[in-house]
Structure 1
Amino acid sequence: MKNFALIGAAGYIAPRHLRAIKETNNQLIAALDKFDSVGVMDSYFPNADFFVEFERFDRHIEKLKRAGTQLDYVSICTPNYLHDSHIRMALRRGADAICEKPLVLNPWNVEALKDIEKESGQRINTILQLRLHPSIIKLKKKVEAASNKEKFDVDLTYITSRGKWYDISWKGDESKSGGIATNIGVHFYDMLSWIFGEVQENIVHLREKDKSGGYLEFKKARVRWFLSINENDLPKEVRKKGQRTFRSINIDGVELEFSSGFTDLHNVSYQEILKGNGFGLGDSEESIKIVHKIRNSEISKIGEKHLFIK
């Protein structure tokens, strides 16, 4: 049984981590969040110590260590811009980190963490659950079996409606979230680069506060992509059904079905991490470079545009 701490216990994604810790038969000994609406912990670890101040949480972890209680992992579910700092704290306390995506916001943050990882002897893991989805694994095998000269044509569309709260929260602040492409798209870019190889071209056609779109060319694919949190971008047939999310990956005219099977992927991620098979800094690097360039590129008129941008 390993000892875990959790930073960001009141967040949207925290219950998946709590469940994964419990269902892999491990123990949560401490949790932190500046918000105290964490009643969800009662369903998993009611006896875990809870803190609303980082300083007291950090001191508690140190006292446990001096008393002989080893902290093995720190799970990080905090806002994107805090990941770097919280990863460093985990390693400094002699624990491995398990961090939600994006691991960090900038490519140079990855390089710095590589040095700290090496110095500490600890490991940094990130959650890239799409790599564990059966449909995605099947697609990767299909692409690997195809001729190296063949390029697939891909249309990625992801619209997930968000209310007015989004813009007020840290997610609406690009300096904290990295913007739309980073906040809701980084796992898709990771999936695309994992399946189709290195990036050859990265063009941005649209970049607004609530939507973004562009063209990515990989070694084995030409990808037109569009991401949005604006419900007005939803296809009419989706809105008529009262649905607020639309997700589509179309490859050479064939829809990739991957809407089901997400429920247990955090559990699977934890199982692999505990075996020493987690996704690390090197796995995250390419997607972080992609979103950083999207965030900082000039808007272009050239290149193939996604249908929703046209």
Structure 2
Amino acid sequence: MMKGVIVGAGFMGRTHLEAYASRKDAEIVCIVDRDEQKAKALTQAYGIEALAELSRALEEWKIDFVDVCLPSTLHKQAVVTALEAGAHVLVEKPFALSLEDADAMIEAADKARRRLMVAHVCRFMPQYQYLKQTVATERLGKSLIFSAWRLSETPGWSWNNWLNDKSLSGGTLLDLSIHDLDIANWLFGTPVEHRLKEIASPLKTGPSHLISSLGYPGIGAVTIEASHLMPAGYPFSAGFRLVTERGSLEWGTSAAQPGCLGEFTDQGERQIEIKEEDPYRREIQHFLDCLRTGKAFAISPREARLAVRTVAMLQDPGGCC
């Protein structure tokens, strides 16, 4: 059985711990958080250790993998420490706040000959996998226009409110919109045009509402909308629309029945049922299965780097490599 450590006892650390608890091929032996009491509060129900330092956990156990669920600005240090100790790594999105940090983590993985996966969870959701298949097979013809959206009330749930501090989270573009930027890259490749319109509220510091326009060879237009400016209590909303030569495919809070994709052609509408599964459990199952079998991850570190590069290009089209 593989032994692992989760670094970070916040919402995502708890989510990942619950997913590992359902597995018989892996055991989380420790939760690491600089707030050791917070880590202990999370571990009590599972009967596992809580520590304040990752280095201590790596010394105390023979660790096969480390799952990093820290604020984005802390990813590099934890990831490189784990890799250099000989552990494989799963790290939450966004991969990094900068291309320099992403490159340092990729270099560390290559040097240590350890495996590194970035947790872009949307790739493990069946609606996005069906979308990917539709684009790749062109079963509805060539793609013409793709749009996606992700709207949330202003975050108020993060440790020390780090999500609303752009220096720690990268802001709405890097923290929230990167989900759909990665999906667009997965579908269409490397963008060659980047335009961003970002609106902030004078009443809120940090979050924003933004629309990104991306150009890819072979498709007319791609637009991505994201917001952390929705009022308190606004239901989280996400969705997409793909317009093709022979129809459209839609999913979201209003485009289809719950658990369904809506497909529209000249022959009419049909609802495509999708199996509702916990995407975090599917993501972690994939990570563990690939470690065991040696198969390639569904997302490579360089694909995750491309998402960070896409953000950098949107912010400064002329200043990024």
TM-score normalised by L of structure 1: 0.80
- Identity, in percent, stands at 19
Amino acid of the structure 1 residue aligned with 2:312 = H
Question: Structure 1 residue aligned with 2:250, among 249, 252, 255?
Answer: 255
Which 10-residue stretch deviates more, 94-103 or 271-280? 271-280
| Higher-RCO chain (CA-CA 8 Å, sequence separation at least 6) | 1
Provide the secondary structure at the position in 2 that maps to 1:37.
Answer: helix
The 1:262/1:12 distance shift into structure 2, 3 A limit, reads farther
Question: Structure 1 residue aligned with 2:68, among 63, 71, 76?
Answer: 76
Q: 1:214, 1:225 within 8 Å by CA — same for their partners in 2?
A: yes
Whole-angstrom distance in 2 between the partners of 1:166 and 1:82 = 14
Q: 1:199, 1:216 within 8 Å by CA — same for their partners in 2?
A: yes
Q: Could you tell me which runs of 5 or more consecutive residues in structure 2 were left unpaired when the two chains were aligned.
A: 201-206, 260-274, 291-295
Q: Could you tell me which runs of 5 or more consecutive residues in structure 1 were left unpaired when the two chains were aligned.
A: 233-238, 299-310
Provide the secondary structure at the position in 1 that maps to 2:19.
Answer: helix
Q: What does the per-residue CA deviation read over 1:277-298, in whole Å, with 9 as the maximum and x for residues that have no partner?
A: 4333122121111112223359
Which structure carries more strand by proportion? 2
Q: What does the per-residue CA deviation read over 1:2-60, in whole Å, with 9 as the maximum and x for residues that have no partner?
A: 11111102x111122102222222211121113333433333x22x2212x33xx4134
Name the residue aligned to 2:58: 61
Whole-angstrom distance in 2 between the partners of 1:265 and 1:14 = 15
Moved over 3 A (4+): 163-168, 257-263, 295-298
Provide the secondary structure at the position in 2 that maps to 1:112.
Answer: helix
Provide the secondary structure at the position in 2 that maps to 1:20.
Answer: helix
Which 10-residue stretch deviates more, 163-172 or 267-276? 163-172
Q: 1:18, 1:41 within 8 Å by CA — same for their partners in 2?
A: no
Q: 1:179, 1:295 within 8 Å by CA — same for their partners in 2?
A: no
Question: Structure 2 residue aligned with 1:218, among 192, 216, 219?
Answer: 216
Provide the secondary structure at the position in 2 that maps to 1:230.
Answer: strand
Name the residue aligned to 1:268: 282
Q: 1:180, 1:210 within 8 Å by CA — same for their partners in 2?
A: yes
Whole-angstrom distance in 1 between the partners of 2:171 and 2:305 = 18
Question: Structure 1 residue aligned with 2:125, among 133, 141, 146?
Answer: 133
Name the residue aligned to 1:235: none
The 1:37/1:257 distance shift into structure 2, 3 A limit, reads same
Question: Structure 1 residue aligned with 2:81, among 76, 89, 101?
Answer: 89
Which 10-residue stretch deviates more, 215-224 or 283-292? 215-224
Whole-angstrom distance in 2 between the partners of 1:135 and 1:165 = 27
How many residues align? The count is 279
Structure-to-structure mapping, 1:104-253, within 5 angstroms: 104-146=96-138, 150-162=142-154, 169-208=161-200, 209-221=207-219, 222-232=221-231, 243-252=234-243
Whole-angstrom distance in 2 between the partners of 1:270 and 1:165 = 24
Whole-angstrom distance in 2 between the partners of 1:220 and 1:274 = 35
